[in-house]
Structures are given as structure tokens and as C-alpha cells.
Structure 1
Amino acid sequence: MGRNRWWLGWLLWLPLLASAQEPVRPANPLRVDIEGVGTGVVVSDQGVALFSGDSLQRQWRVLDGQSVFEPVANGRSILVGSSRGIYAINPADGSFRWHYPVSTTAVYSPLLVESMAVAGATDGILRAVDVGTGRLLWQRSFPGWIYTPAPLGDLLVSGGSHGVLWALDHEGKSRWQFDLDEDELVFGPVAVNESLLIATTFSGRVVALDEQGNLQWELRLATPVKRIDFREDQLLLHRFGGSLSQVDAYRGELLADYPLQGGITHLSSWHGGRWWVSDSEGHVETLNKQGDMHSIGALQRQVVAGPIVWNQRVMLPVRRGRELEFVTLADPSAL
């Protein structure tokens, strides 16, 4: 498989749940508020674990030791892609509601849209299954491997190793495609407010398309972008080599670059008017939209997921031996 980069296909986005009719995207950690269970935090790291909302104590852990991607939830189930297919987990006790098995490939965590869970995979097949039962609704095959799509208006847009962005309707029928000149995607595309699609490639290109597949702007950077966050009209690009770039989302203007002490492996979190970013060396930084960076400090533990805001505190999931726990970073109001 091209450049062995499929593991970067983890999708990003909102840590809060939307209604059943709105697209819901994976996140790690994932805040959940499910009827009959209450509020909690789900973390995926060689398995999936649920932590209670009041004490952040672990309630259950499943798929221990398996390679899994970010969780996503719809109010009834927690879904996760893995090296063995897609699992739907009952948040009350960690039991499986259903399992869609795929034994020969890794399946990314799905996008939840309407009653479907749509997931890309390293075998190049985009699969749509019923979110309640796991029954296959439709599938489409693409060259190479394909990422889980982003919701762009009424379309689903994805790409992968073939260097093409494909737009499909909710029945899996093609609507348009955009040629990236065989330039391989780093990870799945991201939709800004479901009206502007952002995709990044291994050559350092960042492209923005509208709902009709028209190029709105293109930016070329010295190093590729591995993850994208956005807030309102601004993108935060996490780049290879351990740096951040702030970009105007609608003009494609590079606003600023910031070096970090380690590589970026997890998504940032937004709270208190700041992005909260952790790197591979355990350093934690905050950055506001005006470009002011503030160092919180360094952790001497393995960080397993990005920051999450909980009870007005910014928390970070870390590993202690085989166990996961949360470390309080700071009270954002004190900064």
C-alpha cells in the first residue's frame, strides 16, 4: 500500500455529539451523552474504554490489544473501525450490538450520516452499513485505499492513494471527481461547515473545493499536513516535523507558522478561545486565533489521545503501564 500511510487516515472533528440527522464524525477522546447511561468520555488506544462523567473512572474496556481508530457515537451506540471491521458497542456495559467483519483489511471509523455508517478501508472499498443493525447498504470500490468521507452539503467526498477526490451521493452514486495529479492524500478530507472541503497531499499541497468540486484555493507548504482542525474561518494545520500553521480557511492565506518540540500525533481541542495541542514528547501548548502561544509544560507519561474539556478543565488521557488515566492540564480561565 502506498507509502504505508493508511494509519494516518484517522479522522478528526467535533468531540460533541450531534443529532441523528446531522453528520457525526469520529474524535478521540469522544464526549458522549447517551440516554440511560449519562455523560462520559470514550478513549480508543489498543482497545476502547468508557470513563464515567462524574469521576472519570473507567467503566469498561473492550477490544483490548486490537488496533482501533477513533470512536464515534449516535446516542445509542459507540462505533469504531478496526483491523477486524466495524464494531457497534452498547455504552451501558461494553457489549457488542453488532459487528461488521472485514478480515483482510483495516476499516477506518465511519462517518455517521442519517441512518448510515460510511467507512473507508485499506482494500479500497467504501462501505455503507445500517447504523442500527450493521447490515450492508451499498459499497463502492476504488483504486488503492480509500479514506472515510467528509460530508460536503448533500455529498460524501473521499480520496486516498489514487490521487483523486470522489464525490458521491448518499446512495453511493458518483457526482463529480477532482484530479490531484496522482498526488496521494495524507488522510481523509475535512469539510469546513459542510460547505468547503479541505484536502492535503504528501507533496505539501492543501486544496479547498466547493460543493460543485470547483477549486477555491491551493496552498503549497514545505512539509505535508497530517491533521487539520478548524474554528470559524481559520484552519490549524498540524504538519510533519512538529509544526503548526494557521491558515485563513476561505482565502487560503498562510497567517503564521509555529515550531513545536515534538511531532503531532493527536488532534487539538478548542476551549476558552484557544487551541490546546499536545505533541509526541508530552509538551502541551495553547494557541489563540491571534497567534499568541503559551506553554503549559511537559508530561512524563505517554499521551494516548488529544485534550478534552471536562468540567471546565482541560484534561489529557495518558497511559500508566496498561491503564489509562486523565491528567488535568489547567483551568483555561486562569490563562
Structure 2
Amino acid sequence: MNSTPTWTLSVKEEQPELPLNSNSMHLLVCKEESGSSLVQEEAAVPHIKEEQEEDGSTVTSLAVKSESRETEPVAGSASTWKHMELQAGLERLSSHGSESDTEDSDEWEESGSASHTGGEEEPFSCTVCGKSFNQTGNLKRHMIIHTGEKPFSCAFCGKSFNLNESLKRHVMIHTGENPYSCTVCGKRFNQIGSLKLHMRIHTGEKPFVCTVCGKAWGEKGHLTKHMRIHTGENPFSCAVCGKCFNRSESLKMHMRIHTGEMPFSCKVCNKRFNRNENLKRHMRTHTGERPFSCKVCVKSFNQSGSLKMHMLSHTGEKPFSCTICGKHFSVKQVLKKHMAIHTEEKPAE
């Protein structure tokens, strides 16, 4: 039983960078022989014909001259089919070559123009604020800012975060992990930002400067609090009495007046205080420490306020005056006793 003849067309390119009409390209035609083996026979190099059009453009056509009578088209024969395949293949190669060269050139120009602009393309834009990103993942993380979504939650306390990096930093509070250490004093921190702020203690760097008085700080938050002194802003108000404060810490201490909370206790006598500063002053009564000394007579005191009142005895200053007779006093308590003369009230002992 005779098998159906099979013909294939392949292209051998010795120099891929050359255009299709180069003489270096050869067509290999597989010729049917008896048996199952096929012998490759090199076909003639296609003849290139260029014609000039009226508009000045040049049209290039390819033609193959058949030297074998076996390949001449005969209607209804297998050779006719083979010739048609060959012609169709040449047309496909011609169209493929011109199209692929054009496409590759366009792609190269696009990538080249992107690389020569000096920055990465950012084709992914936020539909809310218009900010652009070079990766879809970065855009997705950005969108969480607008949606308020917090998909990352702490397994210890349940607190949620919008970024996985923020969650990792938070978990270090529970685990006690402090991977960032100061190279000067060895103190450790769980965030690199905290380490950077700490390093300013050693370097003395104070980049945040008050534009009014010129005082400088190592942390921006300290400058923000200081500026309220100049602006008179008191954004923190007591919900009980309405008194306002310029610092949240001052409001917290004030609230202890209403709540009666006294979280600081003396380890010696168990006396309690609502402020840590009051506890420190109290502890000096047990230790006998007197860190505040007069530069004139070298007398020492356990409180800075006591030293200030003592200094008035050297300067002769009398800042406290009677509103009735105008007499001046250097100590406030002496003024109170004097006022009893005018009011005829006996001062409390």
C-alpha cells in the first residue's frame, strides 16, 4: 500500500541578524524517495526582484526557479501540491520576517526609551490619589491606606495592623526581642528608628530647631510640644473640670487629682504620691541627700524650691508684695502671715 507523500519546508539561517533577502539563507526541500528515508536536497537560492513604484517606494518580490522537472506544477499531481506548499512557505517567511523585524524594533525602542529616561516606569496608579507604583504589589499595599483595612493581627493581644512589617515590630514588644543595639553603650531597641533617636544622645545632634527662640531638640515630638509654649495652644482638656494643658502627660497627672490615684509609693515608709517627682523629693528625707547647694554660702537643700527661697536672702530680692499696703517679702509664707493683719484673721500654724 502506497503511503501518502509528506513534504516539509524549513529555513536555515547562518546569520540571524541579516534581513530575509540575504544570500546566506537557503531553502531545504525534503524530496520523497522510495522507502521511509528522506534525503535533503538544497534548493536554488530565490531570485530577488525589486520594482520601483510610482510613489517612490520599492517592492521586493521573491521567486524560485525550479531546476528539476519533478517540482514543476502539474495540475492534479503531488508535485502541484508540493509547489504550492513551497510558494506559500516563501510568502509566510517573507511576511513573518518583515513583521517580526518591525515588532522587535518597536519593543527595543520602547524598552530603550524607558531605560534612558533615568527611572523605572510606574504604570500602576492609585485611583483615589493618583500616586503611581512600578509593581502591583506596592499599589495593593498603598490601597490599604484608603480602605482602612488591617488584615494583619497580633496573636498575643489581637491588635490589627495594615502592614505585615508593622505587625512584626509590634510582636517584638511581646517577645522582648531587641535586635538593634547601640555600638556606644550597648543599649538595645526593638526598632531601628528608636536606635537612631538614641544615637543622637551620643552624637549631640539636635536637628529640630525652634524658629522662635532657637532652642533645639533631638526629637521632633519635643519640638512640637515646645512650640505650644509660644503659640499658647492647649489641646488637652480635662473632661471633669475643663482645665486645659499643652501636654498629654500634664493632663494625665492632673486627672489623678480627680481620681485620687497615687501610683508611686515609697519603699521605706509606704507613703504614696501621684507624681514620680514628688516621690523622688520624698526619698531624700530618708537618704539625707541634699543635691541643691548655694553657691554663696555652700548651704545645701533637698529641694530646688528651698534653694531658690534661700538665694533671696543673698540677693535681697522681695518678690512677694502685699496688695493692701504694698510691703514686700522674700518668702511667700511670710506674706501670708502679714495679710492676716489686714484681714484680722489668725494665720494657720
Identify the structure with bigger relative contact order (alpha carbons < 8 Å, sequence gap 6+): 1
More strand by share: 1
- Compute the TM-score of the two structures, normalised by the length of structure 2: 0.20
Q: Which has the larger radius of gyration?
A: 2
- Compute the TM-score of the two structures, normalised by the length of structure 1: 0.20
More helix by share: 2
